[in-house]
Amino acid sequence: MTTEHDYPSLSQRGENLAKFTWDVIKHAMNHQEDFFVSNEVLTKRLKICQQCEWYDIGPHACKKCGCPLDFKSKISIESCPIGLWSEHTDDWMNGKFDKIAKEIEEGQKS
């Protein structure tokens, strides 16, 4: 542990966080698959939706939140607005976030 160095100022920390957030968004645009659930989780979510009172079969959408389910159900950090299925962050906790952060860091160096 060192006492020689101070943390960055609060505004600098805010800027660093904003930059990292922007880098994650850019990464998401180029590597959408990193933010998707497995086919198994996707199938479970869709089965729940198809039996839900808020499911609209025509556009395959959720009338509660208005989201198209083809997209919403694939996103790992998405959740059902009435709690019938939740975020699926196991992959994130088991190394996916570290992988993304490393790829962002490597991208900044090149």
Residues near ligand SF4 (CB under 6 A) are 48-49, 52, 54-55, 62, 64, 80-82, 84
CB of 25 to ligand SF4, least distance (A): 23
| DSSP at 5 | -
3-state class (DSSP) for residue 36: strand
CB of 63 to ligand SF4, least distance (A): 7
Give kind and range of the element (H or E) at residue 24: helix 10-30
The nearer residue to ligand SF4, 17 or 82, going by C-beta atoms, is: 82
CB of 47 to ligand SF4, least distance (A): 10
Helical axes 10-30 vs 97-109, angle rounded to 10°: 100
The nearer residue to ligand SF4, 6 or 40, going by C-beta atoms, is: 40
d(CA 59, CA 70): 10
d(CA 30, CA 46): 25
The nearer residue to ligand SF4, 24 or 65, going by C-beta atoms, is: 65
CB of 66 to ligand SF4, least distance (A): 9
